[in-house]
Structure formats: structure tokens, C-alpha cells
Amino acid sequence: MAREVYIAVVGPSAGTPAELAIGEAVGRGVAEAGGVLVCGGMGGVMESAAGGCADAGGRSVGILPGDSRLEANPYLTVAVATGMGEARNAIVVRTADVVIAVRGEFGTLSEIALALKMGKPVVGLGTWELGKEGESVDAIVRATDPRDAVAQAFRLASR
């Protein structure tokens, strides 16, 4: 089932309650829309997104940085242990059609940048802002809430 829409949800591994709630809603939304959730497999927003996806009966894959599947959060359909550290971020993005970024730190920023480099759309929920020479670079599609983020992601995936 590789032809369905795959949406990566990226965000902090130790999120605030508000961030976790956003991740959960996005994961649920991806599942309800019939998509497959891709994430980094660890805690924080990766875990809440996988939990939301599971609650809605959806499928998810977690692509872990470490050597052991046992580091995975418990809500994934399948966990993949890459043993590649941060280089796995490229696989998270490569596997997805669109990336939804929920706030996030530098790891999330790397996933946003890799997606844009690969020509994949990025939808942002309160995430990084980019600029050059004092001018904003509007490469991230801004969403107002989880529902909007999922809707935009599926719209962009179907182009």
C-alpha cells in the first residue's frame, strides 16, 4: 500500500501539552483522511501523532534514529530501526509526499529543509520562519489549526 498519501508529521521530541495536542489532532486527521502517517518514531509530537493516528484506525510508520525498535513509541503500526542517527531525517522526508511541521526545534528544521530541497511541500503549524537578507522566505505553507493543516497537506499531495 505504497500508493496512498503518506504524510510526515515532524515536531519536538519533548513537546508542551499544547504541542502534543496539536500532534494528536494532526495524526488523527491524517488517518481519517485515509493517509499513512510517517514520523520519527520517538516521543513528543511523534508519539502523540502516532497515538491520534491509531485512535482513528490509521496506519503509521516510525523511522527511528537508533539501533533498537524498543525505543519506539507504542502507537506505531510498524517501527523501523535505522541505526543512522539524524541521517534518518532524510528517510522520514523521502518516504512522505508532504510534511506537516508542528513547531519544533533544529531536528524539525532539518526535516523542513530536506523536504523543500526534495521539492516536497511543507505545511507549518507555528513552526520555523525563514528569511534571507532581511526578507522573509515564504517556503512553508502556513496552516491555522490541525484540521487546516491536514486539508492543505492532502490538497498539496494530490497535485
Element (H, E) at 30: helix 17-32
Positions 74 through 103 that interact with its own copies (CB under 8 A)? 74, 76-87, 89-91, 94-95, 103
Q: Which of 10, 25, 42, 72 binds its own copies (CB under 8 A)?
A: 72
Residue 117 C-beta: closest distance to its own copies, Å: 4
| Overall residue count recorded for the chain in this entry | 159
CB closer to its own copies, 57 vs 74: 74
- Torsion over CA: 16, 31, 73, 115 (sign): negative
Binding mask 25-64 for its own copies (x = CB under 8 A): -----------x----x-----------------xxxxx-
In sequence order, the 6+-apart residues with CB closer than 8 A to the CB of 7 are 30, 35, 36, 37, 38, 96, 97, 98, 99, 100, 150, 153, 154, 157
Q: Is 159 in the site for its own copies (CB under 8 A)?
A: no
Q: Which of 21, 126, 141, 148 binds its own copies (CB under 8 A)?
A: 126
Q: Is 13 in the site for its own copies (CB under 8 A)?
A: no
C-alpha distances in angstroms, 96 versus 3, 67, 130, 157? 11, 22, 22, 9
- Residue 64 near residue 47 (C-beta atoms within 8 A): no
Q: Is 149 in the site for its own copies (CB under 8 A)?
A: no
- Look up residue 146 and give its DSSP letter: H
Residues that bind its own copies (CB under 8 A): 1-3, 6, 36, 41, 59-63, 67, 69-72, 74, 76-87, 89-91, 94-95, 103, 105-107, 109-110, 112-114, 116-118, 126-134, 137, 139
